[in-house]
Amino acid sequence: MDELLEILSDLHPEVDFENEEGLIDDGILDSFDIVTLISEIQDVFEVTIDAQKIVPENFNSANAIYSMIQEILQED
Amino acid sequence: MFFTSYEFLGFFLVLLVLYYSLPKKWQWKLLLLGSYLFYFAAGPWYVLYILGTTLVTYITGCQIGKNFEKQKEYLASHKEELDKEAKKAYKGVQARQRKRWLVVCLVVVVGVLAVTKYTNFVIANINSVFTAFGSGTQLSFLNLMVPLGISFYTFQAVGYILDVHRGTIQPEKNFFRFALFISFFPQVIQGPISRFGDLSQTLYGEVKANWSTISLGLQRMLWGYFKKMVVADRVLQGVSTIISDPATYHGAYALVGMVLYTVELYADFTGGIDITIGVAQCFGIKVQENFIRPYFSTSLKEYWRRWHISMCNWFRDYIFYPVSISKAMQKVGKTAKKLFGQKVGKRLPVYLSSFVVWFLTGIWHGASWNFVVWGLLNYVILMASEELEPLYAKFHEKCSWSNKAGYKVFEIFRTFLLICVLNLFDCFEQVGTTLGMLLSIVTTGNWEVMTNGALLQLGIGVTDYIVIGIGVLILFTVSFLQEKTQKSLRLMIRSLPYFVRAALWFGLFVLVLLWGAYGIGFDASQFIYNQF
């Protein structure tokens, strides 16, 4: 989780990612951020994120993103 | 059968009465029949195209769905005997089979769109190349029909099949229900581009007549007619005059023309979508919103989050994301990172994917280079803004006045002007003509036409200007109130005393009757987005 928070903070240092729960719904992360984020996650966690995983529920909070990564790791 | 025709109103009313008179289980079947009648009225042969797209997409959806089921059953029944690698290998084989179905479907469905809409564009370009190399050979243009709304229903079908392939929705097993999703008459010719997961929630519901819902739908329709008939169709006369003769109407005329066209485009497209959403609401069906007051945007980026939302989301979800996170693009990013550093490596995939998206968005709007240039200009401005983002942040940090309301108004005005300039590229097929018109605004100096009555010779007289002015003022006031309160104005009006709200809606109805551009001297015009 710490690694993920570090990636997110690099993207938007001004956001409190530990508590924010509307990253997509509130427009904090835009499509450009999402692509950069996915690229970083794929490198750090060694997972492949498919386009179908890019839905607001999976990206609205750091916890949701982390759960998605765990889910992909389990599927693999 | 345009939305603004008497035939459409008659058709809608008959369908509505039948819808609530028939047994509820027949309601969606009636809508399917009505949708095909509506489409048939647009052109009997067009029906074959929409039917073909529906059939191919339906069969593919079912095949992919069956494959998913087969995979699930096999994995469940062989749970014990398969290790992780064997499961992965089996899933890989099944995924390849699904992909084959998907590719065939996309080739056919998108192929029909490409052939009907873009063949003559390709021929024109080949002929230009022949001419440039001094060859006298010229290919003949084909006399192809472009079915009404083909770009919209094709995108809807492609979105459906991609969602089924991704496993995010279950395929519709009933062909006729699926046919209704593709052909649903209020949205078939100009969108919004609905997702099956959203529209299917209410499309097949058995609906009990509810005056509250129907009246909200009728009010939304009336608001759409006001925008289209009172504002858009009146402005149209002036815009057409200016566009038809750029040699005469340039300089100050070009400035007036691009502002009028931007007003017309807004009133026409959002008015059409209001009618679509209103009609659907009368039948108890929820169609997604396509606009969030786009002309209140403070940047082009924000504008594209508020304008034609269903198309933007379509391109984002089905083109931008898959392309930008594809293995090939990630490889490009990594290579760029090694060669040019971290920043370029991160941005390159996004910029390349955005280029693809904006090129396609341009060509989707029309088969000519002016639309491609329009798309790519949007791309250049958006990417430049992205690069300048840190500079903006510093500017806002250092200049506290830039965070005040006055500066926001300036940003809104600046964005509106930018949209006006970009929209001018819609108007002329030759990009050179558009650039000439833009240049003429600063070089011609014929500003006297603004005051000497020349603007009254454009096909819109004093009365038209007054009506347009009042219409725009009403549109602005309503949008401003919605922007400020973030609430539906119709619901707010609902809380007013009966006679006040009745007077408001009756007043709007009278305005459409009195000021609507119809009858002698006016030709009920097609909606601009019907042509896409």
- ipTM, two decimals: 0.86
3-state secondary structure of A34: helix
What is the number of CB-based contacts under 8 A between chain A and chain B?
Answer: 40
What is the pTM assigned to this prediction? Answer: 0.89
From first to last of its 76 residues, chain A has per-residue pLDDT tens of 888 998 899 888 888 888 888 888 888 888 888 988 998 898 888 888 888 888 888 999 999 999 999 998 887 6
pLDDT confidence of residue A52: 85
Does B472 score more than 90 pLDDT?
yes
Query: With an 8 Å Cβ cutoff, are A39 and B333 in contact?
Result: yes
- What is the Cα–Cα distance from B144 to B150, expressed in whole angstroms? 13
Query: With an 8 Å Cβ cutoff, are B321 and A27 in contact?
Result: no
pLDDT confidence of residue B488: 84
Contact criterion met (CB below 8 Å) for B348 and A39:
no
Q: Is B314 on the interface with A (CB under 8 A)?
A: no
Does B29 score more than 70 pLDDT?
yes
Token pair of B67 as six digits? 């494959």
Q: Spell out which residues of chain A touch residue B166, defining contact as CB-CB under 8 Å.
A: 50-52
Does B531 score more than 60 pLDDT?
no
Query: Within 10 A of B254 (CB to CB), how many other CB atoms are there?
Result: 24
Q: How confident is the model at residue B532 (pLDDT cuts 50, 70, 90)?
A: low
From B322, B333, B346, residue closest to A51, measured CB to CB? B322
pLDDT confidence of residue A74: 83
Contact criterion met (CB below 8 Å) for B220 and B277:
yes
Q: Which fold has domain A2-10+18-75?
A: 1.10.1200
**B347/chain A closest Cα distance in angstroms:** 8
- What is the Cα–Cα distance from A24 to A31, expressed in whole angstroms? 9
Q: Spell out which residues of chain A touch residue B168, defining contact as CB-CB under 8 Å.
A: 52, 55
Mutate to test the interface with A, among B90, B170, B306, B325 (most CBs of A within 10 A): B325
For residues B165-189, average pLDDT: 94
Domain boundaries of chain B, sorted by first residue: 6-206, 209-287+455-532, 291-429
Mutate to test the interface with B, among A36, A39, A54 (most CBs of B within 10 A): A39
| DSSP notation for B254-308 | HHHHHHHHHHHHHHHHHHHHHHHHHHHHHTT--PPP--S-GGG-SSHHHHHHHSS
- What is the Cα–Cα distance from A44 to A46, expressed in whole angstroms? 6
| DSSP notation for B103-121 | HHHHHHHHHHHHHHHHHHH
Type of residue found at B106: L
Does B523 score more than 70 pLDDT?
no
Query: With an 8 Å Cβ cutoff, are B325 and A38 in contact?
Result: yes
Which carries the bigger pLDDT value, residue B343 or residue B131?
B131
pLDDT tens column, B408-466: 999 999 999 999 999 999 999 899 999 999 999 999 888 898 888 888 888 888 988 99
DSSP state of B288: P
Which carries the bigger pLDDT value, residue B163 or residue B461?
B163
CA-nearest residue to A38 within chain B is: B325
Percent of chain A with pLDDT over 70: 99
pLDDT confidence of residue B514: 83
pLDDT confidence of residue B526: 59
Does B88 score more than 70 pLDDT?
yes
- What is the Cα–Cα distance from B528 to B532, expressed in whole angstroms? 8
Q: Spell out which residues of chain A touch residue B322, defining contact as CB-CB under 8 Å.
A: 51
3-state secondary structure of A12: coil
For residues B376-400, average pLDDT: 91
- What is the Cα–Cα distance from A47 to A2, expressed in whole angstroms? 17
Name residue, tokens 């693809």: B356
Name residue, tokens 């008497």: B6
- What is the Cα–Cα distance from A66 to A1, expressed in whole angstroms? 7
- What is the Cα–Cα distance from B268 to B39, expressed in whole angstroms? 21
For residues B162-173, average pLDDT: 94
As a whole number of Å, the CA-based R_g of chain A is 11
- Provide the H-helix boundaries in chain A: 2-11, 31-45, 56-59, 62-75
pLDDT confidence of residue B165: 95
